[in-house]
Homo-oligomer: A and B are copies of this chain.
């Protein structure tokens, strides 16, 4: 059902799949679980659930700089619902095909709706981008825009629809875009493969910039100064976000699935020119530990923002 690959010696249907990693390449492995009502709205479309289940795992491979190769799917669902399963499979297949990753194993059981995907990628080991390599002076950059998924989730939860009247068309289009960012995140696989050549450290933004960048800083034993006025935002976000929640939506909410990367400041322009997604420099790594936020005037902001936490 997904991308055929010559390195799959034996696919689904036996006790195990058999895969042929390329000699000398390291294997990157990641696993993520999605639970209805927790990681996606209960009323999300089946296509979107399938898409997102794979996307969040591809995003982890991207952060490492790995080339996606194979994945397994464990799907527990309350009942056999053919139309839901078809939609789910379509969404999964659409992203798998686009990412050249092959489904090689699965287990379907009856139970609560829980989806676990384990994704495997490969790369030359020295090119793997860890969280621990950030150095003082590095530029802190992010791909794409921040806050769209969080704003989309808020509209979704409020069951927002575009109302008749002036501006209806524009709002409807923006809403659609925000919902797409929420339900069908685009893992930055291509960007990850390019960035691995220059990045000292990287992470994917699943829980929010504040928390996720914090992981890099902790692992690297450094700090960072971030300019909140430089956080990239989409036009849709700019038009419709509640001003008072701007920062929270951009740095304390999750589901962006952009990459946050620390790299030598002098390489930013060069690598930006080669990417197919915007790369924005939002601050610098410092030897002084801690994550500090500044506004455009250079005033330090007294905020304590942490990302989404499980078990809260």
Contact B38 A109 (CB under 8 A): yes
Contact A76 B23 (CB under 8 A): no
Q: Let me know if A138 is at the binding interface, CB within 8 A.
A: no
Contact A105 B64 (CB under 8 A): no
How many Å lie between the Cα of A132 and that of B13 in the bound state? 10
The count of identical subunits is 2
Given the known inter-chain contacts A14-B130, A61-B16, A128-B10, please indicate yes or no for A33 contacting B116, CB distance below 8 A: yes
Q: Let me know if A179 is at the binding interface, CB within 8 A.
A: no
Query: Number of A residues contacting the other chain (C-beta, 8 Å)?
Result: 60
| Inter-chain contacts of A70 with B (CB < 8 A) | 29
How many Å lie between the Cα of A29 and that of B106 in the bound state? 10
Q: What 0/1 readout, one digit per residue, does chain A (97-111) give for beta carbons within 8 Å of chain B?
A: 000000011111111
How many Å lie between the Cα of A130 and that of B204 in the bound state? 38
Contact B64 A16 (CB under 8 A): yes
How many Å lie between the Cα of A111 and that of B109 in the bound state? 16
Which of A27, A80, A108, A203 counts the most chain B CB atoms within 10 A?
A27
- Chain A interface mostly: strand
Which of A20, A26, A107, A203 counts the most chain B CB atoms within 10 A?
A107
| Inter-chain contacts of A120 with B (CB < 8 A) | 29
Contact A31 B112 (CB under 8 A): no
Q: Let me know if A114 is at the binding interface, CB within 8 A.
A: yes
Contact B19 A110 (CB under 8 A): no
Q: Let me know if A17 is at the binding interface, CB within 8 A.
A: yes
- The contact of A26 among B18, B104, B203, by CB within 8 Å, is B18
How many Å lie between the Cα of A278 and that of B287 in the bound state? 63
Task: Return A74 CB to nearest CB of chain B, in Å.
Answer: 4
Q: Let me know if A52 is at the binding interface, CB within 8 A.
A: no
Q: Let me know if A176 is at the binding interface, CB within 8 A.
A: no
Q: Let me know if A150 is at the binding interface, CB within 8 A.
A: no
